[in-house]
Structure formats: C-alpha cells, structure tokens
Chains A and B, each alone.
Chain A
C-alpha cells in the first residue's frame, strides 16, 4: 500500500472514530505540479487527499487559526519534520495545546514521500534530535556561501537590490507559522517603528525585524521564501539566524514543546566577545 493510501486510511479512521474533527492535508492544485492545503472534515472526503513529493508547504500555521482548537477537539495534520518542529514551538509559546494535534508525519527525500512513525509531537523527539544542525532545505546554498564570503558592503548591495523589489505584501509573514501575532509590530503606528512604505529603507527595516523576530524560532520550512511573489531569497536570512543561535546558544528551534524561547532566556556565560 502506498503511503498516500495508508494515510488516507488513517485519516478516514481518525475522522470516522471522531478522534479528530478535521484533517489538514494536501489535495490537487490548479496545475499538475501544484498542491494546495485541504481541510477534510468528513471521512468521505479523504479520497481527495494527496501525498507526494510536491507536498512541501508547512501546514502547521493553520492550526493557530483563531477558534480552530478552542473547542478542545483534536485536529490531524500532515507535517514534514520542520512542521513537527513548528508544533513544538507553537506549543512552547502557548499558541496551541500539542495534545490536540495528531501528526501525520512524512518526509520527502527525492520525489517519494516516506512515513514518519509517531502521532504525538513527542514521538518525534528522537528524529528531531538527529536533525539538529542539518539544513532542511538546501536550496540557495551556493548563493548563501557566496553571501557569507562577501564584505558587508557587498552584502548590503546584494540585499539592497533584493529588498528594492519587496512590495510589502507581507506574504512572508502570513505564510509563516511563527507569525501568529494578532498585531504585527509593523502594524503598530504608535510609534511606527517600521516604515510601512515600501521604499527600500522601509523594506530593509521590515525584513530585518522579521528575521530578528524569527531568530531561534524559524524551522526553515521555506514557506516565506516560496510565498514571496518577487522571489527574494528570504530563507537565507533565516538560515543565517538559525545557524547563529545554534552556534551561540546551542539552540535548535522546535526541539521540544517545553523548549525555552531563546530570546526570552539567557545563560550567564553566553558569549560576548564583541562587547567592549
């Protein structure tokens, strides 16, 4: 039985038994290579679920949709390892109760999805442990290395050219499971810390703030990068920050649902070579 069929069966069981009220997965998209998020609430509809190599979107963000989990009922969701890490963070930041989330875990190596065993977020602790320090999606690696080798001035020029394209549609924010704030800091106009205009200065500010707020929280699922309509390689900034918190604080975002947020905690012996 293919993994797709297995998971359809499991989704059907979960829905028929009433164990979950909804399954969030993937279904066919508007073109053969597109998959779209699907919200299945009846056992009959599970046949529309698709699971293949094109299922890459991190669906965990839908779990914090207002009201979805407030009835204490459970929801099943298709997640890759990054998505599972995202659940840990959302739980650690009290945005959801992980016990309400039934995980249909999978990974896609090449084109074929493989099943991940487990159903509760804690079942994947060992798997997540093995992923520590491994970049989930190496797209853009060459560019990343190039950027690292540049001088700050060259990097500035690079990002200036990239950010000048930004149209401040905030698709990066909306697509990110970690951007769950009811009001984003850019939407606070008293004071207006981030210039809302999408001139390049405002775009710099927005992208800096976004990356800062995701430092130690980003699971590198790539949702922002794929959502960006003007193709800014956003994931590279997030990757840099993930590497930084890993190196400086040994913090691998989403390791467990009790993990302390790295920016709200400290160690007395944190590095400080740069402080005069």
Chain B
C-alpha cells in the first residue's frame, strides 16, 4: 500500500501568495494513499530538506511528491535528499506549482484548484513509480580512432597522451590523409608536411597507440564501453616487421608509370610503392591490380632486389578482433569529381585541374618539386584562372552546401602562384568571399592587395581551348558585363564531399548520416562531436566540410569526450530507458526503425535445443537515451519507458 508524502513548499511568498497551501495540504491529506501532507516555507533549505527526510523515516513513506518549483530546478536536490533518507531517489517527483501555477495565474482560488490537480496527478504517478537503479555499463578503456588524417592523429595523440590505449586504423598504406598532400596552409603559409609529418611520427611511435595502416574496419558490434570491432588488415605483400624501408624494391620495380593517388594523378608511382617519401610507416605495399607478377605470373624483380626477403606474394588479408570502449570516426572527405562540369573541361583539357592537384604542383615534395608547371607541356603558366564554388553551393550539379575551405585555399593558391611565378596573373571567379576565421579575412585581403589576385565576382559559363590557350568565359556581376579571359591553366575549387563509401561505412559503425553522406552529430549545437550512437564520436571533415584548425579542434573535443568516458571503470547512466516485454512483443521491429539511437536490437528467443521459438526486439541499455518514441510506436504495448511508464501516465491522467 502506498504511503506518499506530499510536501507543499511556500517558496517564501512565491507560491503561498497565490496558492492557499493550507487548503492544498488538507485536500491532499485526504487523498487516498497519502501518508503525510505538510507545508513549509522553503523545502529546498537545509531544514526543509531535513524535514522531508525526517518525514520519510518517521512515516515509512513509499514515495514523495514535492510541490514546489519546476523539476528543472530542484528535482535533483530532492531526489538526493530522499536517497539520504533511505528512499529510492526515483520514488520522488516534483509537482510544479510555481512556474506553471502560482506565477502565471491571477486568481488565488483558481490557482489553488489547479495546484491541487497538479499534485494529485503527481501523487498518482508516484504511486506507480518503480525503484530504479542507475545503469552501470562497464567500460573497456581502449579507444578506436578510424582514419589517420590530421583529425584522427590529433584525437589519437590526445587520448594516448592522457594515458589511455588507442588503436588507430588507416586504410591507406600511410598515415597523413589529405593534409599530407597539401603544400602550404592558410592563413600562415607554413608548410603542411613540416607540421604534419612530426605528428605522424609521434603517433606511430607512441607507446599507447597501436597503429594499423592499410587496414579497414569491417564490422562493429556492441555498444558504448563495450564495442567489438573486426578490422581487416589488407595484404601488403611486404613483411612489415622485417622491412626496413630501404626502398630498393621501389627503385627496381619495372612498373613505373602508374598514376599516383597521392599526387592526384599528376605524378607517377611504381607497383610496389609508398604513397610518398615521408610515409608512416615508410614501408611499401604492392598494388596487386597493377603488379606485373600478379598479372602475368612473372617478374619478381622486387623479390630479387630485397636484401631481407620481405616480399611475400602469398600473403592474405588478415582479421583482427578488438575490444573497444569508444570510437572516434575521422574518416575525412573526398573532392568532388569535376567531370560533372563538362563546360569547365575538367578531364578533357589537361590544364584544367582541381585545387588538390594544384596543391601537389605547389608542394616542394610534389611531382614538380614545387614548381607551378602546366601538366600538358610542363611550361610555367603566365595566367591562371581560379574558379570558386566549382560544385559547392550548386544544387543543380554539385552540392547545396558551402565547402567552407575553398575561398581560403584559392586565395592561398593565388598567393603561392604570385610568389612562385613572378609576373603571373591570376583571376579568381567567386560568388562570395567567405573568410570568417582567425586571420582569414586579413589573408584574403593580402592576396588581393599584396599579391594582386584579380577577383571577379561572377560565375564561369564555359571553358574551351583556342590557340593553345584556355578561354574562360564568365560574367562580372559587379560590372554587369561578360568577361573572357585567356588562361594557361584553370584551377577549380572543387567541392568537398563525403567519402564515396561513407553511407555504407556509417551502417557498419551504426551511426547516422545526412543526405550527402556526412555523419550526423547528436545535436548540431549542443552535442556537435557526438554521433547519435553513444560512445561513438566524430572528428574532422567526415561530419561536415572543415579546415585544419576546425578538424583539430573537433578531434581534441572528441578525445576529451572519450577521456571523460574512460575516467571511470563503469559508466553510470540515468535509468530512464525503454524496456521490452518479450512475452508480448510481436517482433515487427518498427521500434528498431523508429529508434534514433539504434538502441533496439533484434533478438532470437531460443528453446533448450537452440531452436528459434520467436524473434523479438531487445533494448540495449547502453545505447537507449530514453526518448520513448518506440513506446508510442509499439502497437502491442510491449515496450515501455522506465520513469514514464504507460501505467504512470495513465494514472496521471486519471488522477486529474
């Protein structure tokens, strides 16, 4: 039998001035199942809380309703007080008679009637409250960072430097990601590799970081604190443990004319290769599809050249199973394929290139050793046209969003070009110059004012070749007239797009993604580094287009989320979670689809012989956030939400 204590707070005059607390206490005192009904000036004060505790002990109360201010103010206070008096804290509820009653009504009698209704309804709820226990989830203190670009490296280092284990997985043969491809970086024009490669080395040598390159995450199971991850180690055909990275094999490889991915097709590589000279690990892999031996069964030049016998053509992919507590997804981006813009001639004219290719041209370690030379004939271009928003902000052919970095890197390209090719003339077609960021606007001003970048506001309609020149026709919308420029080279500021396999990958990991394939944050403003799946965090451009400082900042933020999770052996969570009644569940699994957190799994119920008797939904307490959308969906009324059960809400309505 319930014995509910009702504590009616005057809140000084805040409540008592409008609500006749004495009448309320009397009426509630006569309510069935109420064991004590008292009023007091300030229940949140120390003596007030003490009186609640005393009343719980003296009357053996089974539940408590504090009629006072909003639960958003003092629910935690009074639940703690109840716990101190030996009552399960979840047996305490707040009836809000201040913000939603005394403060908003003029008529004292009406306010008193309303207060009585509010409290009665809450008493009826509390009668049906359950003694909930916080959920404890054990935490494996080992993080998985997926993606070895700057975001992944930063996250891995931050976590590792705090003393926690990290597994860093990169699918390319080397760490580095896109940042390793860049020449100089805005707005400081420091050399990208000069700042990147030390971080790569640091990550690879860190005692707390296990580096898995040329590896891909195959499967993720489990939940926060307890993920089970399967990683595919792709066959390198080179024994990584014995290889010293001497590079003999690379020098000898007869297959030399392969297009280098790292150089964006502008440079060449061999079939056994490292993507770039500073690769980490600096140990080659064999490109199976283009290796002469794999193709013809003959060659083995590399085998002969290797002094340490590291080449193994029989090598197979291997799988590693990992137990992981938290995951940072930092899988980065790709640049959009500009071939969709036929009118710009990308793919048709060798000297129409994209921004990333320009980076390789401008990079000291690039195929031209940092000289800006035309891909078609190796000549120095006297005039370059840069086209911004080649794909971004273009719902018809490209993407609707702004890629955020292009204004800045185009300004940088114009500057680098001016520094490297004296007298070179640049024209930049732009829609807007978006240079918000520390030192960014100053940077673009410098490009215009010191390096004489010629900004033309308008879109380009067509690029064609004429007399060895690339003719660029566009509009100057400020002057309101068409423009034609003869250029030696055209650089497209290509849109940043998600990795082509981003959506599939999101499904493997179990996180959400938007219409483009960028991964969804749990809340755009308040939880921007968490995915909607507990224990999985996002870093870098896989979430949305970002520059280096933003990627690094988000990576550090993710790392701090991981470290907060790892700060305790067990994760304690509010027990407001869904629970399914497997006996009545029909297994339609609509709840699985409706759950925003992938917290509901499909479960087989087996008999003793292991035969499936029926299939039901099962809520993972580690993932459920307690929204209750599943409960409302459930036609058979099988799923319920602790703390807001169907019985409780029914009683609240019936108690009105």
Establish whether residues A191 and B650, one from each chain, have CB atoms under 8 Å apart when the complex forms: yes
Chain A, interface size: which category? 20 to 34
Contact B651 A191 (CB under 8 A): yes
Instruction: Determine if A185 and B635 form an interchain contact, defined as CB atoms under 8 angstroms apart.
Output: yes
- Out of B593, B602, B636, name the residue touching A185 (CB < 8 Å): B636
Chain B's nearest CB lies how many Å from the CB of A133? 24
In the complex where A95-B588, A180-B586, A191-B646 touch, is A265 in contact with B593 (Cβ < 8 A)? Answer: yes
Set of chain A residues within 8 Å of B589, measured between Cβ atoms: 93-94
Scan B606-623; emit 1 where CB is below 8 A from any A CB, else 0.
000000100100000000
Q: Cβ of B638: which chain A residues have Cβ within 8 Å of it?
A: 183
Is B594's CB within 8 Å of the partner chain A? Answer: yes
Query: What's the least CB distance linking B619 to chain A, in Å?
Result: 15
Contact B585 A182 (CB under 8 A): yes
Q: Which of A2-10, A235-243, A256-264 contacts B (4 or more CB under 8 A)?
A: A256-264
Shortest Cβ distance from B55 into chain A, in angstroms? 29
Question: Contact between A191 and B636 (Cβ–Cβ < 8 Å)?
Answer: no
When distances are taken between beta carbons in the complex, the residues of chain A under 8 Å from B585 are 182
**Residue A213 at the B interface, CB < 8 A?**
yes
Check: B255 CB closer than 8 A to any chain A CB: no
A149 at the interface (CB under 8 A from B): no
- CA A184 – CA B634 in complex, angstroms? 11
Could you say which residues of chain B place their CB within 8 Å of the CB of A264? 590-591, 593-594, 633
Query: Is A190 in contact with chain B by the CB < 8 A criterion?
Result: yes
Q: Complex: how many Å from CA A183 to CA B636? A: 6
* B584 at interface, CB cutoff 8 A: yes
Complex contact B584–A182 (CB within 8 A): yes
Residues from chain A with a CB closer than 8 A to the CB of B590 are 93, 261, 263-264
Residues of A within 8 A of B588 (CB): 93-95, 261
**Interface size on B (CB < 8 Å)?**
23
B435-473 interface code vs A (CB 8 A; 1 in, 0 out):
000000000000000000000000000000000000000
**A184 — which chain B residues lie within 8 A by C-beta?**
636
Separation of A183 and B614 alpha carbons in the complex (Å): 14
Q: Could you tell me which residues of chain B, from 569 to 591, have a CB within 8 Å of some CB in chain A?
A: 583-591
CB distance from B587 to the nearest CB of A (A): 6
Asked if residues B647 and A191 are in contact (CB atoms below 8 Å), the reply is yes
Cβ-defined contact, A213 with B635, below 8 A: yes
- Is A134's beta carbon under 8 Å from chain B? no
B427 proximity list for chain A (CB < 8 A) = none
Q: How far is the CB of B491 from chain A (nearest CB, A)?
A: 36
How distant is A37 from chain B, measured CB to nearest CB, in Å?
Answer: 22
Known: A95-B588, A191-B646, A191-B650. A182 touches B593 (CB 8 A): no
Whose C-beta in chain B lies nearest to the C-beta of A179?
B635
By beta carbon, the residue of chain A nearest B595 is: A264
Closest to A262 in B: B590
B597 to chain A, nearest CB (A): 14
Bound together, the chains give a CA A220 to CA B586 distance in angstroms of 22
B516 CB, min distance to chain A CBs, angstroms: 14
Given A260-B593, A264-B590, A265-B593, A193 and B584 contact (CB-CB distance below 8 Å): no
Known: A95-B587, A185-B636. A193 touches B650 (CB 8 A): yes
- Kindly state whether residue B365 has any CB partner on chain A within 8 Å: no
Q: Tell me if A181 is interfacial: C-beta within 8 Å of chain B.
A: yes
Q: Which residue of A lies closest to B630 (CB)?
A: A264
CB-defined contacts of B594 to chain A, threshold 8 Å: 264-265
Report the nearest B residue to A90, measured CB to CB.
Answer: B588
A94 to B604, CA, bound (A): 13
Beta-carbon contact of B593 and A261 below 8 Å: yes
Question: A130 vs B650: C-alpha distance in the bound complex, in angstroms?
Answer: 44
Whether A188 contacts B593 by the Cβ 8 Å rule is no
A181 pairs with B636, CB closer than 8 A: yes
Interface residues of A in 145-195 (CB under 8 A from B): 180-185, 188, 190-193
Q: Are B647 and A190 in contact (CB under 8 A)?
A: yes
Tell me the bound Cα distance from A265 to B590 in angstroms. 9
Complex: how many Å from CA A93 to CA B586?
9
Interface residue ranges, A against B (CB under 8 Å): 70, 93-95, 180-185, 188, 190-193, 213, 260-261, 263-265
Can you list 14 A-B contacts (CB < 8 A)? A93-B588, A94-B615, A181-B586, A181-B636, A182-B583, A182-B584, A182-B585, A183-B583, A183-B636, A190-B646, A191-B646, A192-B650, A193-B637, A263-B633
CB-CB nearest 10 A-B residue pairs: A191-B650, A264-B590, A181-B636, A183-B584, A93-B588, A264-B594, A264-B593, A188-B637, A181-B586, A185-B637
